[in-house]
Amino acid sequence: MTIRPIIRFPDPRLRMKAEPVSVFDDGLRVLAQDLTQTMRAAPGIGITAPHIGVLSSLVVIQLESDVAPRIFVNPQIVWTSPEMIHHVEGSVSMPGVTDEIERHARVRVRYQDLDGVQHEEEAEGLMAVCHQHEIDQLDGIFWIDRLSKLKRDRLIKKFDKLQRLKA
């Protein structure tokens, strides 16, 4: 297991669509383990393969209440509730900044596990937010794209300032 470098905003790969996984082998398992270690080191509660520059449809999520990380291969949202919630979000690719995003309160997600077996689950609250956030990333939609232009521009300026202070 390896902690891999996380690509940082504004890397153009963060806005590229991930390719579906078609080979379910040890390479995929190693990638999932590396993603898990990278997410924990970031630290974060969710990460996608594109966050480390691998354009594969693979997500790892581990909420505080989860005993182990959850792996989602080729996840797709197949249903969303009409009710909406607001949640503060951020990204391992844009550390140090967050903002409130509006998301569906509940979702149903279809995905495969590391063996290629199909599953479907419903999620609400934080887990529903995580699914939407990470699946957006797989679709090439970076989380700040959900903000108004004014909020997005302010957030980018704040992030740029943080990066200059670290340099």
Q: Which two tokens stand for residue 124?
A: 């609400």
Any long-range contacts for 95-100 (C-beta under 8 Å, 24+ apart)? 95/42, 96/158, 96/159, 96/162, 97/155, 97/158, 97/159, 97/162, 99/144, 99/147, 99/151, 99/155
Give the residue from 25, 14, 18 showing the smallest Cα distance to 116.
Answer: 25
Cα angle 132, 107, 28 (rounded to 5 degrees) comes to 55
- What pLDDT does 42 receive? 96
Q: What domains lie within the chain, and their CATH numbers?
A: 12-166 (3.90.45.10)
- What pLDDT does 106 receive? 98
- What pLDDT does 154 receive? 97
- What pLDDT does 166 receive? 83
- What pLDDT does 151 receive? 97
Respond yes or no: is residue 134 known to be catalytic: yes
C-alpha–C-alpha distance, residues 78 and 85, integer Å: 18
- What pLDDT does 36 receive? 98
Q: What is the pTM of this model?
A: 0.96
- What pLDDT does 124 receive? 98
Catalytic residue (choose from 64, 89, 124, 134): 134
Q: Is there a contact between 150 and 108 (Cβ–Cβ < 8 Å)? A: no
CA diameter of the chain = 46
- What pLDDT does 167 receive? 76
Q: What is the mean pLDDT of each run of 10 residues along the chain (167 residues)?
A: 95 97 98 98 97 98 96 98 98 97 98 98 98 98 97 97 89
Q: Is there a contact between 120 and 108 (Cβ–Cβ < 8 Å)? A: yes
Q: Is there a contact between 124 and 61 (Cβ–Cβ < 8 Å)? A: no
